Amino acid sequence: MRPLTEEEMRVVFAKLADYMSSLKTLIAPLEDGDRYDFRLQRDRVYYCRLSVANLATSVARDNLMCVGTCLGKFTKSGKFRLHITALPLLAEHARYKIWVRPNGEMPFLYGGNIVKAHVGRWSEDCPAHQGVVVFNMNDIPLGFGVSARSASEAKRLDPTAIVCFRQADCGEYLRDEDTLFVS
């Protein structure tokens, strides 16, 4: 487990900036003097306390499965892909949000995109092609995706038009349980 290089950190921050309002809150020091850090184990990026990451250095690489929250992984081409395990962190700091109605929860959780008929409400200033976090009407995060249209454009669309492309949803814990935590 090692710290991210400058280039890797830039790629991770660029992906997180699509979904979050402020990245400063991720790396700000805590009240107890500790801080959070990004670490790389194989090709996966973890977000954990620095004190825990320092303790993990005493564990052999083959025996260490994970430390902290897995944010995502680097692909073979060097791109960074967010995992569903990053949802609690994204939901806490989300810039743009979409709330789906109860009739739209199951189609989204089974891997479908969000259509206009399923949207209960969303952030007013949401532009097109921007990262959004998807909530149900009870403010429980369900997943995240990319807005297909801006909020103002979507008001004029027909009910079957796609307004959000799914990137990840909570159903992945069941659909991809064999490969989600394995390199």
- Going by pLDDT thresholds of 50, 70 and 90, the confidence category of residue 165 is very high
Residues near 147 by Cβ (< 8 Å), separated by ≥ 6? 96, 98, 126, 127, 128, 129, 130, 131, 132, 163, 164, 165
pLDDT at 182: 67
Please give the share of the chain, as a percent, with pLDDT higher than 90.
Answer: 60
Which position has the token pair 């280039």?
A: 7
Alpha carbons 2 and 24: distance in angstroms, whole number? 21
Please check the confidence at residue 122 and state whether its pLDDT lies above 80.
yes
Report pTM.
0.87
What pLDDT, on a 0 to 100 scale, did the predictor assign at position 181?
67
Query: HSE (CB half, 13 Å, CA atoms) of 41?
Result: 24
Q: Are 118 and 133 in contact (CB under 8 A)?
A: no
Q: What is the phi/psi pair of residue 36, to 5°?
A: -90, 150
- Average pLDDT in the chain: 90
Phi, psi of 74 (to 5 degrees): -85, 135
SS3 53: helix
- Cβ atoms within 10 Å, residue 97: 17
**Residue 183's pLDDT is what?**
55
Domains of the chain as residue ranges with CATH? 2-82 (3.10.450.220), 94-174 (2.30.130.10)
pLDDT at 79: 94
pLDDT band with cut points at 50, 70 and 90 for residue 74: very high
Phi and psi angles of residue 69, each rounded to the nearest 5 degrees, phi first: -100, 125
